[in-house]
């Protein structure tokens, strides 16, 4: 899908580079004969270790990692994955050296700008881009270009690409709790509405399916504060030894095949947990208007978020016009 974005200045590569090799297409066709994940999450770990291993600058490792992401998105598209969520930059990453953080911000700004340059291609494939995280902690220029990409792809429905940037699960839950508290204070919600699983419905991924599969590279076996709430039931966790820039199609194939082998038990576990939570949430709740009230509140939050993104996007357009 996104191979166009890796070309300098967003220039389109040759048609052949957009196509998977025949043996990868055949392997994907075999996987599609079984249950395939609709939401796949990735912890892209190992860029810095890759650079050290090959005696390269750290930013080169991150650039190679971006190239791997483009390949992974093509694999997901071939399997008809509907949502891909990638952990691009954690809030804790701000603790790294100033030079490395600045280099990562510059790389992100460049790649999001290339997405805008390839806007027609993104529209053709129906890719919707969302950035999950604390946008206000990012450089102004990066905020603006991210907002413009999100605004321009908002209506696309084939594949949702969630980019977790300046993100942590703890911060995500805190923001959801603050939003609910404000909703109660403003009269949009009642205090007892929080007993109905409302917190989960106010996370960044609200309205999207829970991850079916989460892949972490580099051999680490922890979630590192990524989608903790979303992965607590029925998500197949796979920890791959390969560093992220070294992740191969056959690594991915093996993980999806393992997911298929465990699919029945994963579905059973997810249904069982959902039934328990539904029963628990329903206990002591006697308000026929609760669900309608919650839906109005969620829709209001969605509109507020869109207006915030639109304001940032307008600032990007104004800055672009003044620089000409």
Quote the pLDDT of residue 255.
98
Cα 1 from chain centroid?
16
111, 77 contact by CB (below 8 A):
no
- In whole angstroms, give the CA distance from residue 221 to residue 160: 26
- In whole angstroms, give the CA distance from residue 174 to residue 133: 12
- Which residue shows structure tokens 């990562």? 104
Quote the pLDDT of residue 318.
77
Phi/psi for 210 (5° steps) reads -65, 155
149, 118 contact by CB (below 8 A):
no
Quote the pLDDT of residue 307.
95
Could you report the per-residue pLDDT of 140-157, keeping only the tens digit for each? 999 999 999 999 999 999
Burial class of residue 40, CB neighbours in 10 A (0-12, 13-18, 19+): buried
Residues of the chain with pLDDT under 70: 1-18, 120-121, 196, 280-286, 320-324
Token pair in block for residue 60: 């080169």
Q: Do β-strands 127-132 and 159-167 pair in parallel, antiparallel, or remain unpaired? A: parallel
- In whole angstroms, give the CA distance from residue 160 to residue 222: 25
Quote the pLDDT of residue 124.
74
| pTM for this entry | 0.89
- Strand arrangement of the beta sheet that strand 236-239 belongs to: 127-132, 159-167, 83-90, 39-43, 213-216, 236-239
Quote the pLDDT of residue 308.
95
Contacts for 114 with CB less than 8 Å, ≥ 6 apart: 5, 6, 7, 9, 10
Quote the pLDDT of residue 302.
94
Cα 22 from chain centroid?
28
- In whole angstroms, give the CA distance from residue 267 to residue 11: 43
Phi/psi for 12 (5° steps) reads -75, 135
């Amino acid at each position: 899908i996104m191979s166009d974005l890796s070309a300098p200045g967003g220039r389109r590569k040759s048609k052949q580079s957009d196509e998977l090799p025949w043996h990868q297409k055949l392997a994907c066709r075999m996987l599609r004969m079984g249950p395939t994940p609709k939401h796949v999450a990735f912890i892209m770990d190992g860029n810095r270790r890759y650079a050290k291993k090959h005696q390269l600058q750290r930013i080169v490792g991150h650039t190679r990692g971006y190239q791997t992401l483009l390949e992974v998105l093509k694999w997901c598209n071939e399997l008809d994955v509907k949502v891909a969520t990638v952990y691009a930059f954690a809030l804790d990453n701000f603790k790294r050296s100033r030079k490395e953080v600045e280099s990562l911000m510059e790389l992100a700004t460049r790649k999001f700008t290339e997405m805008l340059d390839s806007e027609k291609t993104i529209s053709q494939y129906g890719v919707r881009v969302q950035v999950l995280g604390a946008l206000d902690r990012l450089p102004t220029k990066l905020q603006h270009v991210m907002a413009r990409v999100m605004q321009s792809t908002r209506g696309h429905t084939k594949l949702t690409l969630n980019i977790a940037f300046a993100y942590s699960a703890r911060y995500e839950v805190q923001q959801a709790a603050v939003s609910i508290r404000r909703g109660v204070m403003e009269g949009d919600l009642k205090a007892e509405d929080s007993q109905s699983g409302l917190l989960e419905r106010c996370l960044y991924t609200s309205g999207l399916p829970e991850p079916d599969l989460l892949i972490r590279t580099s051999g680490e076996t922890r979630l590192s504060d990524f989608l903790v709430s979303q992965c607590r039931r029925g998500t197949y966790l796979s920890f791959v030894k390969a560093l992220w820039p070294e992740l191969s199609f056959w690594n991915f194939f093996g993980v999806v095949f393992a997911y298929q082998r465990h699919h029945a038990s994963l579905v059973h576990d997810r249904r069982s947990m959902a039934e328990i939570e539904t029963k628990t949430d329903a206990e002591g709740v006697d308000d026929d208007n609760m669900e309608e009230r919650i839906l109005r509140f969620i829709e209001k939050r969605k509109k507020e978020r869109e207006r915030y993104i639109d304001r940032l996007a307008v600032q990007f357009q104004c800055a672009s016009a003044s620089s000409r």
